[in-house]
């Protein structure tokens, strides 16, 4: 443990350092430096520990001058700007994490329990294909997993989506999959859908009165320089009666 003289010397030095958060580290560095210097003097000059410590303090020089020099190195303006910027960054990270938790929970629930295909009774299927088609749109990935037509003529497009970047925590909406056509170019709008918002989501886009005789489903999107087109054969209609 440093002697009273060493502690007094160090206190004089750090009083000149106006950036308070750095004072503790400076105290440790000075104490270690004085201790090392005293041991070296003791070995070289065969002095007692007390005399070696006094000699080490004398070699250190004036405490006020050392403190003024250290204060220039530990600029208080830059120091406090850096110090408070760290605090702000930590607070922002906490805010982002707290805002992300609900989306992560929603996405977790979606991955484990939310399957829109379960809302469609299997006994009403008249055709069912699994295209497993992957659409890449910037950092977003959309996978069309199932296309189902039911006996009332409704056509259901089921897909999942996720974002490779955490910059967007909102999910791909169920109505935003693109323009839906058949092989003859006729466009279909009537219907509905459902989906969840989150980093990962599952959704369903449903169309009313899709003709049974159509053999192909086309999903196309052209927006802000981003284009994709997916063609999905629908297969034959199976009579469940």
Q: Tens of pLDDT along 36-59? A: 898 888 888 788 888 888 888 888
- Please provide the size of the chain in residues: 241
Q: Tens of pLDDT along 80-99? A: 787 788 888 888 888 877 77
Query: CA nearest 54: which of 37, 70, 29?
Result: 37
Quote the pLDDT of residue 172: 39
Average pLDDT of every residue of the chain: 83
Looking up tokens 């196309």 gives 220
Q: Tens of pLDDT along 199-217? A: 677 888 999 999 999 999 9
Look up the CATH number of domain 114-233.
Answer: 2.60.40.1630
Quote the pLDDT of residue 103: 62
Quote the pLDDT of residue 230: 92
Q: Is the pTM of this model over 0.85?
A: no
**Residue 35 near residue 3, CB atoms below 8 Å:** no
Q: Where are the domains of the chain?
A: 4-74, 114-233
């Amino acid at each position: 443990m440093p002697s009273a003289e060493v502690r007094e010397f160090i206190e004089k030095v750090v009083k000149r350092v106006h950036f308070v958060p750095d004072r503790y580290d400076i105290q440790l560095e000075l104490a270690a430096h004085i201790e090392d210097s005293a041991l070296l003097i003791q070995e070289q000059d065969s002095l007692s520990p007390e005399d070696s410590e006094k000699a080490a303090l004398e070699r250190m020089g004036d405490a006020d001058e050392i403190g003024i020099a250290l204060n220039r190195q530990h600029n208080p303006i830059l120091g406090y700007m850096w110090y408070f910027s760290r605090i702000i960054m930590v607070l922002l990270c906490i805010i982002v994490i707290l805002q992300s938790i609900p989306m992560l929970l929603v996405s977790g629930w979606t991955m484990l329990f939310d399957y829109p295909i379960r809302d469609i009774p299997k006994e009403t299927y008249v055709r069912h294909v699994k295209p497993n088609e992957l659409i890449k749109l910037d950092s977003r990935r959309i996978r069309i997993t199932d296309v189902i037509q039911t006996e009332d003529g409704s056509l259901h497009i089921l897909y999942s989506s996720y974002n490779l970047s955490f910059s967007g925590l909102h999910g791909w909406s169920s109505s935003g999959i693109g323009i839906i056509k058949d092989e003859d170019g006729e466009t279909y709008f009537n219907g509905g859908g459902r989906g969840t918002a989150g980093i990962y989501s599952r959704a369903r886009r449903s169309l009313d009165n899709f003709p049974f005789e159509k053999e192909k489903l086309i999903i196309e999107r052209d927006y802000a320089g981003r284009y994709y087109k997916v063609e999905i054969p629908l297969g034959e209609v199976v009579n469940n009666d």
